Structure 1
Amino acid sequence: MVATAIIAAPAFAAEPPPLSLYGSLPGVERAAMSASGARVALIGRVGEKRTLVLLDEAKKPLRAVDLGDAKVRGLYWAGDDRVLLYKSDTTNLGAGFTTDRAELFTMLVIPVGQEKPWIVFDHNERITGGVQGFYGIQQREGRYYGYFGGITLEGDFRSTPYLRTTDPMLYEVDLVTGKTLEIARRYEGEGFRDWLIGNDGKVRAWLDFEARSGKWEVQNAKGQRIAQGVNRLGQVSLVGLGGTPGTVILAEEPEGQDGRWTEIPESGGEAKEIMVGTNVDHAYFDENSRQFIGWREEADRPAYHFSDAFRQKVANATVKAFPGLSVHIQGWNDAFDKLLVMTEGVGDPQTWWRVNIRTGAAGELGVSYPMDAGSVGPMQMVNYKAGDGLDIAAVLTLPPGREAKNLPVIVMPHGGPTARDYPGFDWWVQALASRGYAVLQPNFRGSDGYGVAFRRAGNREWGRKMQSDISDGLAWLAAQGIADPKRACIVGASYGGYAALAGVTLQQGLYRCAVAVAGVSDVAKLVATDLRASAYDKTMKAALAEEIGAKTDLKAISPVAFAARADAPVMLIHGKDDLRVPFEQSKAMDAALRAAGKPVELVVLPGEDHYLSRSATRLAMLEALVRFVTAHNPPDAGR
């Protein structure tokens, strides 16, 4: 294979930035633009506090709200006068549920003025469990309404309300008064129901999925069936209202076939396949009509496609204004002439901008990781061949100011595994690069973003070809002379943590150390945990068997079963409140390694979830990681 030209690392200061710059929550981590574009909401650090700040057009603060350790999952404007903040909390459920704890979601409504913020459903004693799904915001007759799922207690005035099912009803909530109106009933059965809301605030269509049989059907507002089928794995969903008036868009991935989008007439009739041959990363819908207006292409750098010529011209001009960088359009006003943009890439540690198309001005709102351009490790996409000839793409980040020759290396597989890495500013990667390491992030088979066939190529390949795809990247780096293969460690989180453990147990002789953050060690136990939490849902069972393998095969790919073969020191880092990969996964691996007499260190993150949402524990993770890696794989060649 022809070697990829490696970008040169710029000169940088002799002393790298402190780890606290990377590990603390970013200066700006999330932002949203109001309907007129005159106001912006930012979440970031003000001093040492994590704060929501509302700014006017002149960047004058209108309101600031201390968020503490809130785990923010979304930020939205309702017009120009109020902001919706979507957050989650880990909650103990008690007896009677299929799992002991759950992540419950809350929507906080924050007026721009000094009115007191309030919580959706907080004063409705018949709705419990917070928000169970968010279906958007809609303006109608000058008022804004939000649409939310909510678990509703049964009973009437003659009986005490009780919980019969956790399937949610659909509610409309007045975002000024908090008044709640039920607009659609829940699904009755084992499966799920999904709704589409029209610009009149009424349900335009809904999808019912029956878990036992895999049967699904779409009904219109009159309750007439307009589409149906069978999908055993539950890979079917409503995307939104179609670009053609009077249609809805359905996404489905039939077993053994490519995924497809179809536009279905609401009145019934023949469905039309759309977006053929495209790789959609995100769909865009008009804020007022709620119709499909465009999409972001899945690519190394974002690419935007709009059906309207003006929007397309604006998107093209915005991307062109930041040459050489990844341009993330995060939001826009109703007129689409003011945009909220985040840029990142070589020399750019994530900069946030308010772009005015009419004036051609781009005003900087803040930087996620404030450092000089020379301290940003340059990153780029590279390609190599796996052992069986499959083409694998990867992100390669180099240490600032060092020649790309014979470098110590950190191999860092992503989580998911149906995810992928991009050539942008990654705080883990940049922290390691700043300490002198080349960092390779392979998009191994099973990764998202390279088509259905590539993703399905990872099915039942945990610990097998997915694992060798990762180590084939290390061999490629060594063959190019970029990395010293004798000075390599493997680091990852979630599935990447599994791959890190597998790299020193299922594989041998490759790495000087392994760090698994929230990693999977016992695959069979993880599958059992997921099935229990789903109340042994048949769709979940089929999907897990399709992706990971049959129950009898899972011990053969579980690092905990091969702890005695570990050939390098291991660090395990795990949050106690992790619901996605339970803390017990690291605890079991720690016990197995100790019993086998292998060097291991367990770092416990109190109160932390799967996503490292809290500042203190995020920094604690990074400091432990860097300490361990530099001890076992020193970055300077003389050791």
Structure 2
Amino acid sequence: MHKAVFLAGVALAATAAHAEPSREAKAFGARESIQGISLSPDGKKVAVLLADGARGQMLTVSDFSNNPLKAILRNAAGTEQLDYCRWTTPSRLICHVSMQVNDAGTLIGFTRMFAINDDGSGLKRLSQEPNSFRALNIMQSGGAVVDWTGDGSGGSVLMTHTYVPENTIGTRLANDKSGVGIDLVNTVSLSRRPVEQPRTHAADYISDGIGTIRIMGNQGETAGGYSSDTISYSYRKRGERSWQTLGQYRVGMDAGRGFNPIAVDPTLDAVYGFDDADGRRAVFRISLDGNLTKQLVVAHPEVDVDDLIRIGRQQRVVGASWVTDKRRAQFFDPELAKLSAALGKAIPNLPQIRFVDASADEKDLLLSASSDDDPGRYYLFHKDTRKMEEVLAARPELANIKLATMKPISYRAADGTMIPGYLTLPVGSDGKNLPTIVMPHGGPGARDEWGFDWLAQFFAARGFAVLQPNFRGSSGYGEAWFQKNGFQSWRTAIGDVNDAGRWLTQQGIANPGKLAIVGWSYGGYAALQSAALDADLFKAIVAIAPVTDLETLRTEARAYMSFSIVDRYIGNGPHVREGSPARNAAAIKAPVLLFHGDEDSNVRVNESRLMRDKLRDAGKKVELVEFKGLDHQLDDSAARAEMLDKADTFLRASLGM
């Protein structure tokens, strides 16, 4: 991969001409300044991936002295995206880049990896490219690091290697291997050697963090050639090469089923992972000594335990966390448990503490601290001196804007079930008779949680109350709460969303004539589908990158290996028609504003175009704003500012404000 690839690119604006967005729209629409951050192994330098302009990125390095961050690489708003850059030595970094190509209407994703010195020199590709003249297939994955310590020598990592078979006619040198293996790669010398031969259906490798692959997952194919929904995991006993059965995990667009291994602890000779405990996700540990002794480590009686806390270059497991009203954590490491509590007291206004990275000896810790009304900042903590220094703020554009607080609430649904959610009121408001937005989250296999939310904060700054409900169909509350999922159980999920609007009115928070609904992805689907149950409740609808027709969503997935999983998730039956907003366009009374990127591989832009056309055919008021060259996240500061400004103007006009 040549350096020019990362330096080329032209910023693309939205398709429609528009007036200059407001100051608030620009401030809240700006992408998070820090898109990635990593601490060098010696703890003396930090690499920061910064947002640069509307779409660009800039890789910078600092030695924590008075010298500012020094740019060593610019990714000028092209088709590539730098996902992360991490140190492999005190002077060399690995970067992971992703890109997307439109192949006759099918969006195909690619990833590649490269290494670069901390002064910008020595940029070299690490991904092994197939022989383009003989390759019998394309190589989408350029590899991923599964162990940052490699064999313990400086600069070595273990990374996946996708083998693409080649045409063997006329040569004895062609590669006939296929599948995914593991290579030991030295990022300085670029030497490499295979440590795990490729396996056709290999889907996952897990190392012990100190250079040995201990677990492998194989995912077969269906009769139709799509990926199976089951991964069969095998493990190795310490010091052995043969594989033994660990178990099976059923992949899903939700939390899946069965034991899902995540990380190996070499000291305990065990693997941590997630599995069901009384209908909720919990952390378990299974021994890898041949006995497969399974132990429940962390569970919660009300919610799923959904995250393992890992730290350092070995990515050792030090705790787990879950969300009730706010995110809580249990540390297995006594020192980090005490430190986390102490940091919470030292930074009382920023209670969300997250360990981001650490030096090789873990004496220097890079951490972030944030809250609901502060997007956060990064700190470097020195264990030896017990001193902490601020590194950077996450969103400097919001430094002089007073942000609103987010309050955990619950409301009663029509069947009596208490639905949790989060209410954000405008700063200085008395919380009564306000223009109000119900904002269902995406997913639907996701949930909202307490913390900074740029979308909710923007509308609060514009005078709206915002309620984010964790309706049934959300993840995080166990299997029973998830129902079948937010599509197959749409009546329950959307009913809960609508009940949020009714509760806001009953409480006197919302002016019933100024109640709107805004959502992104599944949230956009919920915003549109809300009218199928109550067309008079919401007076304006904003849907960003929404699913609008379940059968169309199924058809879109046929071009990808995950089709069988998506197909099962959508299911079959009357809900496919009844639960599709585009097929219920005639029921919608409120004006609709749609936003969509035309390179969205998650939900294709055709879904919004279909919705627009169906609404127009039904004589409804609708506008679609398309953004050229953008995907599902609309990761462009100018586009987001325009979206916020247009949405605010639309809501005010529709609600008579």
Match of 1:8 in 2: none
Does residue 216 of the first structure (1) align with residue 228 of the second (2)? Answer: no
Match of 2:330 among 291, 305, 309: 305
Match of 1:137 among 148, 165, 178: 148
Cα distance in 2 between the residues matched to 1:541 and 1:599: 32
Distance 1:290-1:363 versus aligned 2 partners, 3 A rule: closer
Match of 1:117 in 2: 123
1:97-134 Cα deviation digits (max 9, x unpaired): xx822222233323212423233216664793242544
Distance 1:350-1:228 versus aligned 2 partners, 3 A rule: closer
Match of 1:474 in 2: 501
Does residue 294 of the first structure (1) align with residue 306 of the second (2)? Answer: no
Match of 2:14 in 1: none
Match of 1:11 in 2: none
Give the residue type in structure 2 aligned to 1:58.
Answer: S
Contact kept, 8 Å, 1:281 with 1:297, in 2: the verdict is yes
Cα distance in 2 between the residues matched to 1:141 and 1:184: 17
Give the residue type in structure 2 aligned to 1:76.
Answer: R
Cα distance in 1 between the residues matched to 2:562 and 2:251: 17
Does residue 171 of the first structure (1) align with residue 183 of the second (2)? Answer: yes
Cα distance in 2 between the residues matched to 1:161 and 1:294: 49
1:597-618 Cα deviation digits (max 9, x unpaired): 1110010100000112223322
Cα distance in 2 between the residues matched to 1:242 and 1:619: 45
Cα distance in 1 between the residues matched to 2:159 and 2:535: 50
Match of 1:57 in 2: 64
Give the residue type in structure 1 aligned to 2:354.
Answer: H
Contact kept, 8 Å, 1:503 with 1:514, in 2: the verdict is no
Does residue 245 of the first structure (1) align with residue 268 of the second (2)? Answer: yes
Where 2:149 maps in the other structure, the secondary structure is strand
1:347 CA displacement: 4.2
After TM superposition, the structure 1 = structure 2 runs for residues 480-559 of structure 1, keeping only pairs within 5 Å, are 480-534=507-561, 536-537=563-564, 539-542=565-568, 544=569, 548-559=570-581
Match of 1:334 in 2: 360
Cα distance in 2 between the residues matched to 1:575 and 1:165: 38
Match of 2:627 in 1: 605
Give the residue type in structure 2 aligned to 1:311.
Answer: L
Where 2:624 maps in the other structure, the secondary structure is strand
Contact kept, 8 Å, 2:152 with 2:211, in 1: the verdict is no
Cα distance in 2 between the residues matched to 1:141 and 1:75: 20
Distance 1:133-1:382 versus aligned 2 partners, 3 A rule: same
Distance 1:161-1:552 versus aligned 2 partners, 3 A rule: farther
Contact kept, 8 Å, 1:207 with 1:238, in 2: the verdict is no
Distance 1:33-1:455 versus aligned 2 partners, 3 A rule: farther
Where 2:217 maps in the other structure, the secondary structure is strand
Cα distance in 1 between the residues matched to 2:188 and 2:584: 58
Contact kept, 8 Å, 1:133 with 1:149, in 2: the verdict is yes
Match of 2:594 in 1: 572
Cα distance in 2 between the residues matched to 1:211 and 1:262: 28
Give the residue type in structure 2 aligned to 1:245.
Answer: L
1:409 CA displacement: 0.5
Contact kept, 8 Å, 1:534 with 1:540, in 2: the verdict is no
Contact kept, 8 Å, 2:554 with 2:566, in 1: the verdict is no
Where 2:490 maps in the other structure, the secondary structure is coil
TM-score by length of 2: 0.84
After TM superposition, the structure 1 = structure 2 runs for residues 84-483 of structure 1, keeping only pairs within 5 Å, are 84-93=94-103, 100-121=106-127, 125=131, 128-155=139-166, 158-159=170-171, 167-188=179-200, 192-210=202-220, 212=222, 214=230, 216-220=232-236, 222-229=241-248, 231=250, 235=257, 236-242=259-265, 245-253=268-276, 257-278=279-300, 279-285=304-310, 287=312, 291-325=316-350, 326-357=352-383, 358-372=385-399, 375-456=402-483, 458=485, 461-483=488-510
Give the residue type in structure 2 aligned to 1:128.
Answer: M
Where 2:148 maps in the other structure, the secondary structure is strand
Distance 1:91-1:377 versus aligned 2 partners, 3 A rule: same
Contact kept, 8 Å, 1:153 with 1:162, in 2: the verdict is no
1:173-195 Cα deviation digits (max 9, x unpaired): 22113333333234435xx5311
Distance 1:613-1:167 versus aligned 2 partners, 3 A rule: farther
1:368 CA displacement: 0.8
1:321 CA displacement: 1.9
Give the residue type in structure 2 aligned to 1:309.
Answer: P
Cα distance in 1 between the residues matched to 2:478 and 2:94: 34
1:518 CA displacement: 0.5
Cα distance in 2 between the residues matched to 1:298 and 1:78: 33
1:525 CA displacement: 1.4
The farther-off stretch of 463-472 and 346-355 is: 346-355
Cα distance in 2 between the residues matched to 1:505 and 1:369: 42
Contact kept, 8 Å, 1:349 with 1:373, in 2: the verdict is no
Contact kept, 8 Å, 1:168 with 1:186, in 2: the verdict is yes
1:143 CA displacement: 1.4
Distance 1:532-1:142 versus aligned 2 partners, 3 A rule: closer
Give the residue type in structure 1 aligned to 2:265.
Answer: G
Cα distance in 1 between the residues matched to 2:544 and 2:528: 10
Cα distance in 1 between the residues matched to 2:618 and 2:531: 14
Cα distance in 1 between the residues matched to 2:176 and 2:600: 27
1:587 CA displacement: 0.8
1:443 CA displacement: 1.1
1:138 CA displacement: 1.4
Percent identity over the alignment is: 26
Give the residue type in structure 2 aligned to 1:241.
Answer: V
1:369 CA displacement: 4.1
Match of 1:20 in 2: 26
Contact kept, 8 Å, 1:280 with 1:296, in 2: the verdict is yes
1:465 CA displacement: 1.0
TM-score by length of 1: 0.86
Q: Which runs of 5+ in 2 are unaligned?
A: 1-21, 223-227
Distance 1:322-1:391 versus aligned 2 partners, 3 A rule: farther
The farther-off stretch of 261-270 and 472-481 is: 261-270
1:540-572 Cα deviation digits (max 9, x unpaired): 543x1xxx4324430110000111111111111
How many residues align? The count is 609
Q: RMSD over aligned Cα, in angstroms?
A: 3.1
Contact kept, 8 Å, 1:32 with 1:41, in 2: the verdict is yes
Match of 2:41 among 35, 38, 47: 35
Cα distance in 2 between the residues matched to 1:535 and 1:465: 27
1:21 CA displacement: 0.9
Contact kept, 8 Å, 1:262 with 1:271, in 2: the verdict is no
1:366 CA displacement: 2.4
Where 1:282 maps in the other structure, the secondary structure is strand
